[in-house]
Every structure is written in C-alpha cells, then in structure tokens.
Amino acid sequence: MKHEEELAGLIYRRILGTITPEEAEVLDEWRNVCVANETTYRKLMDAAFLEREYRRIKAVDASRPLADMQSRIGRKKRQRVLRLGIRTGVAAAVAGLILWGVSWFMPQPIPPSTEWQTTGMYATQIRPGETKAVLTLDDGTKVSLGADNRTNEKAIEQNKTQKKPGKQEFNRLTTPRGGEFRITLTDGTQVWLNAESQLSYPDTFRTNERRVVLKGEAYFQVARNERKPFYVESDGQLIRVYGTEFNVRSYQEDDEIYTTLVGGSVALQADNGANAELFLTPGHQAVFDKQTASVYIRPVDTDVVTSWRKGMFVFEEQNLGQIMAELSRWYDFDYEFTDNVLCETVFMGSVPRYGDFGEVLEILEKSGGVKFRMQERTVIVSAR
C-alpha cells in the first residue's frame, strides 16, 4: 500500500507539473520495468479515462456475501473518499483517482482479452430503451407512438373510427422491451409506463369511478377527485386512490405485487373483496402475494423504488438474477447463468438507465465475483 501511495503521488505531481527531476527519474524507471506499468501510467495520465472511471466508481457500491466483504473494506473506503473529493474540483479529485487507479490496475496489468473485445463489440449493438409504445384502440387498430406528442396526436386522430352513441371505448397502451412512455388520461392523471408494461383504460371516465388495469410497472400521479375515486387493478390486487403519487410493480414473472406510496394515501385489497382494505402511508411499500392474497407492509426509500423514472437503476439488496431481469427488459437482451448460484449474488448500488451497455456490464464486473461474455444479443454470466 505504501508503494502504491508513493507511485500515486508521483503521477499526481506530474499531472500538476510540480514533480522534481529526481522524482521524475524514479517514476520513469518504474514505467520502464514492464509493459504493464507503462500501460497503467498512460491510463492514469488520460483525463478522459479518469473521468469515465470515476463515474463508474460513483455509480456502484457493491455489497457481496460476507466471506468476500472483508477483503473489500479498504476499497470501499477509498470509493467514499472519491465521492467527496470530486465535488471540490478536478484537482482535488485527481489524487484519490490516481491512488485508486494504481491500486486497481497494478494487480491486473493484462490487456483486454479477445473474449472481452468480442463482448464489447456486441455490447455496442445493444442500446438503452427509448420513448415508444403501441396504442391499441377499442376496435383493435394499433397505433405506434414515439417521443413527439404532436405526431402521436395526429396518428391517433387519423386512426380513430366513428364512436357509437353511449358506448364506452377502452384502449390498451403497451410498452415493449426497451420502451417507456408517459400518458395523461382524460381526468388529468399522469402515468409513466416502464418497459414491457401495459395500461388498459377507458377513453373517458363516464361513471362515478375511474378504473384502469395495469400489467408490469407504472408510476401514477392521480388527479384528485374525492367524488370519483381512482382504481388500479393488477393481478388480483385492487388499489383505491383519491389523489396521490405511487408506484406499482407487477410483472408476470413476479410472485408478488409491490405498491409504493410516495405521497397521499391509498387503500389496497384483493380484487374479489374477500379481505378488508389496508391503508398505506407515504414512505411505505405493500407487498401483495398473488397466490395467497396476503399482504404485508414495510418502510422503503421511495427514491430507490422510483429511480427508474428519474434515469437511474438503483439496486438495494437485489440479487443478480433480479438485476439481469430488469436490465434485460430495458436494454432488450437475453441472458444465461452458467451456474444458478450466481443468481443470488447481492449488489447494492446504481447504474445510469440511459448509459452505454458495455459500461453497465463493466460496472457489475468490477464490483467483483462475476464476468460477462456475449454471443450476439445473449449475455452469458459466469463466475470470475
């Protein structure tokens, strides 16, 4: 560690232009020892490289099984220093970044393998999701929607058919893998649909209630109307709302429905009315078992649960199996585990939702314990 600190100090002073001739000679001698040292040196002198690596360090704080955790305490401490230092400017952050770089790269001086180069090539072909959805009108007509609201409105208007008097029409808004969409309902309620989700809703709320059906995940900002409650049906659960913000996650492969209240109040019960209503307060999450219709409530960090709407994937005590499922919906790729035990590897941290897919894989790899390789659009996850 002392040797690493000395090297970091020499490189730092060279960047600042304060290195002495004697120090420069020592540093250059170290560079000439082997190709790996020179490679490490050039990386740490590259400002763009340091900036990119800092973003990755800041993005992820990995929490792994206890047996591995002790060996990483020192590295975690250095990461915390980096987070604080960068805010005071580039000069204050460089020393910490250099020390991290020397510590990280010296034990692994081998250039990128052909396998990772191939993975990187395939990774560039996988792009993050975008604003897109398909609207299925009451008569079955499908309308493709994108990020331009005016174009969307024009397309919907062109595909609408003549309404029958007194008939209530229902629409289905569906986001594919690699898609997200926001819609404003006729009552002013706003709904953000996550990837691979579907919202069924009437063209207008004509009765004494407002009712929609959700599959997948959505964030709701419900327009307040005490005389006309808002209902969300989802896989056996019914949520009653009067005006509030909340997140509902209910993908088909999930055994449970997660309802997280950000503000206001909601009441939940089984949609068959068998159980009494359960009221939820802000900062809490209701976990509804689809099979037994039982539910329990726990406190949560709502910013973590709703991070997908703000451009981040924040993982809090989620295992790698859950993480890969979520990422695959957004980046639209397939994945395989060479050993199912890897599915239970736990991570805590975050990655940018709109980030480069190769960077996302590197973030998870550098968290330790796993490695990735790609075969076209399939990610193979194996032990390191």
237-278 pLDDT, tens digit each: 999 997 899 999 999 989 999 999 999 989 998 877 766 789
Question: Which residues neighbour 184 within 8 Å (Cβ) at sequence distance 6 or greater?
Answer: 190, 191
CA distances (Å), origin 50, targets 42, 160, 248: 11, 54, 39
What pLDDT digit, counting tens, does each position of 280-319 carry?
999 999 999 999 988 999 999 999 999 999 888 888 778 8
* Range with the poorest average pLDDT among 88-97, 121-130, 137-146, 218-227: 88-97
Single pTM value for the model: 0.71
What is the rounded CA–CA span in Å between residue 182 and residue 170? 18
Q: Using only C-alpha atoms, what is the Rg of the chain?
A: 26
What pLDDT digit, counting tens, does each position of 147-182 carry?
898 899 999 888 887 777 667 889 999 999 999 999
pLDDT band per the 50, 70, 90 thresholds, residue 103? low
What is the rounded CA–CA span in Å between residue 53 and residue 48? 9
* Range with the poorest average pLDDT among 6-10, 142-146, 205-209, 356-360: 6-10
φ/ψ region of 94 (left if φ > 0, alpha if ψ in -120 to 50, else beta) reads alpha
Got the DSSP string for 323-365?
Answer: HHHHHHHHHT-EEEESSGGGGG-EEEEEEETTS-HHHHHHHHH
Q: Is 169 within 8 Å of 202 (Cβ atoms)?
A: yes
pLDDT at position 70 over 50? no
CATH number of 130-305: 2.60.120.1440
pLDDT of amino acid 246: 97
Domain with CATH 2.60.120.1440 in the chain: 130-305
pLDDT band per the 50, 70, 90 thresholds, residue 84? very low
Number of other residues whose CB lies within 10 A of the CB of residue 343: 15
What is the rounded CA–CA span in Å between residue 180 and residue 171? 17
What is the rounded CA–CA span in Å between residue 270 and residue 294? 8
pLDDT at position 59 over 70? no
Domain with CATH 3.55.50.30 in the chain: 122-127+311-383
Q: Which residues pair with 277 in a beta bridge?
A: none
CA distances (Å), origin 331, targets 195, 351, 377: 9, 13, 10
What is the rounded CA–CA span in Å between residue 55 and residue 32? 30
| Second CATH level (architecture) for the domain 122-127+311-383 | 3-Layer(bab) Sandwich (3.55)
Residue matched to tokens 């590897």 = 345
